[in-house]
Amino acid sequence: MFGRSLITLLAASAAQLAIALPLEARANSGNSSFLPTDIGLNITYSGPHNASLPNVAIFATGGTIAGSSSSELDTTSYTAGVVGIAALIEAVPQLLDVANVQGSQIINIASESLNSTIVLQIAKFANAVLCAEGSTTDGLVITHGTDTLEETAFLMDSVVNCGKPVVLVGAMRPSTAISADGPANLLEAVTLAGEPDARDRGALIALNDRIGSALYTQKNNANTINTFTAVEQGNIGGFLSTKPFFYYPAGQPTFKETFDISSVNELPMVDVLYGHQSFDWKLIQEAIDNGAKGIVIAGTGAGSLSDLTIIEVERLLKQGFPIVASTKINEGAVPAGRDWISAGFLNPVKARIRLQLAIATGLDMNGIRAKFENTLVGYLDK
């Protein structure tokens, strides 16, 4: 459970929080449940209802925010994904002052063990909860391990697009650690998800008092709490005394592409191969033999591949097999206009998800290339 001293501290400062979200009265009086029950979603937490607060759903998936260790000093060898959603929410009672909260424990594991089946299911639940006609849910928070948080965030940004906030949140220190960051992160994420000004900005990542765009933000430090950054694009906002603010008016990221997953029932296998000296180009065919329907190569620079790899990539592209070149460098873009498909500003793991979506929605090679390169060419090749 969260450290008692931190809970006491948060409780003491709760009285000072100015909680006055400008919200129109809810039309759902008489039925305070805002999560649909007919979509297979198990509602595992349902808090009290106050008609003047926003309705925020929480999907809990596990990770360090739900992690536990026998030592307060342990921030590296704890067990992730053991604390349930009810315990997470009850450890931060201030949540109930900023939103009506209902939650579902989708799964409780470390995020490196999440797979495409689960995240596609989460995306479908997110659309059903937020975007179905008559929905009275104002925003969604997904609690998540940080290791693959940017991947799920990018998927949500690509496929959940009815304007309502989807906020990904996690923690770098387990719930049992001294100065655990989970409670404040969760309170800020729920506040953000219920904030009208968070709408129409795409999926958001909220940790460490910062708000980042899911398209650009990535994990940049394996250990520290200031890990989620977009070095070039920056944060789009942050939190002061747990209240969100934005540096810019609402808007979508330039290089965003959206997909309709209503008829997608599975995401194809797409592998990422990491570029380096002595890269073995034969690994590409081995990945295909193993079932890959597309490949992303994390190139050594701006998409650069060895001479022998380029020959192999061109052979496969001619056969209609999609290969996307991204970069293993943290910042910068792979330019368009080469034989291979350019990932543009997407890092390898995000390019992988966009390629999965492009294949799953039935695009041919030209369609796939357009989803990656059109905006890039429109901006940089005029």
Ligand X SMILES: *[C@@H]1O[C@H](CO)[C@@H](O)[C@H](O)[C@H]1NC(C)=O
Active site residues: 64, 146
The verdict on 16 binding ligand X (CB under 6 A) reads no
> Which residue number, 12 or 27, has a Cβ lying nearer to ligand X?
27
Handedness of CA 173, 175, 180, 182 (dihedral sign): positive
The verdict on 19 binding ligand X (CB under 6 A) reads yes
The verdict on 221 binding ligand X (CB under 6 A) reads no
Binding mask 117-156 for ligand X (x = CB under 6 A): xx--------------------------------------
Q: Which of 15, 18, 29, 31 binds ligand X (CB under 6 A)?
A: 31
Write down the least CB distance from residue 50 to ligand X, Å.
Answer: 4
Write down the least CB distance from residue 64 to ligand X, Å.
Answer: 18
How many residues bind ligand X, per CB under 6 A?
15
> Which residue number, 132 or 231, has a Cβ lying nearer to ligand X?
132
The verdict on 96 binding ligand X (CB under 6 A) reads no
Q: Which of 4, 18, 22, 37 binds ligand X (CB under 6 A)?
A: 37
Is 158 annotated to bind ligand? no
| Gap between the Cα atoms of 351 and 345, Å rounded | 9
Binding mask 43-72 for ligand X (x = CB under 6 A): -------x-xx-------------------
Write down the least CB distance from residue 83 to ligand X, Å.
Answer: 17
Non-local CB neighbours of 205 within 8 Å, separated by 6+ positions = 149, 150, 153, 167, 168, 169, 211, 212, 213, 214, 217, 228
The verdict on 112 binding ligand X (CB under 6 A) reads no
In sequence order, what DSSP letters do the residues of 239-295 get, joined into one string? EETTEEEESS-S---TT------TT---PPPEEEEE--TT--THHHHHHHHTT-SEE
Is 304 annotated to bind ligand? no
Write down the least CB distance from residue 346 to ligand X, Å.
Answer: 23
Stretch that binds ligand X, among 32-40, 62-70, 283-291, 335-343 (CB under 6 A): 32-40
Q: Which of 8, 40, 247, 308 binds ligand X (CB under 6 A)?
A: 40
Q: Which of 5, 8, 13, 42 binds ligand X (CB under 6 A)?
A: 42
Binding mask 173-212 for ligand X (x = CB under 6 A): ----------------------------------------
Q: Which of 86, 48, 91, 95 is nearest to 194 (CA)?
A: 95
Strand partners, 169: 143
Where are any strands of DSSP class E within the chain?
A: 45-46, 55-60, 100-105, 139-143, 166-169, 204-207, 210-213, 218-219, 228-229, 237-240, 243-246, 270-274, 294-299, 323-327, 341-342
Q: Describe the chain by its helix, strand, coil percentages, rounded to 5.
A: 30, 15, 50
Is 75 annotated to bind ligand? no
What are the Cα distances from residue 55, in Å, to 134, 147, 333? 13, 28, 38
Judging by DSSP bridges, how do beta strands 323-327 and 341-342 pair with one another?
parallel
> Which residue number, 110 or 313, has a Cβ lying nearer to ligand X?
110
Write down the least CB distance from residue 311 to ligand X, Å.
Answer: 33
Which amino acid does the sequence have at 92?
Answer: V
Non-local CB neighbours of 170 within 8 Å, separated by 6+ positions = 63, 64, 65, 111, 143, 144, 145, 146, 149, 182, 185, 207
Write down the least CB distance from residue 380 to ligand X, Å.
Answer: 37
23 touches 71 (CB < 8 A)? no
Please tell me what DSSP assigns to residue 320: T
> Which residue number, 19 or 162, has a Cβ lying nearer to ligand X?
19
> Which residue number, 37 or 70, has a Cβ lying nearer to ligand X?
37
48 touches 98 (CB < 8 A)? no
Neighbouring C-beta atoms of residue 350, cutoff 10 Å: 25
Write down the least CB distance from residue 226 to ligand X, Å.
Answer: 31
Binding residues for substrate: 111, 146-147
Binding residues: 111, 146-147
The residues that touch ligand X, with contacts defined as CB under 6 A, are: 19, 31, 33-34, 36-37, 40, 42, 50, 52-53, 106, 115, 117-118
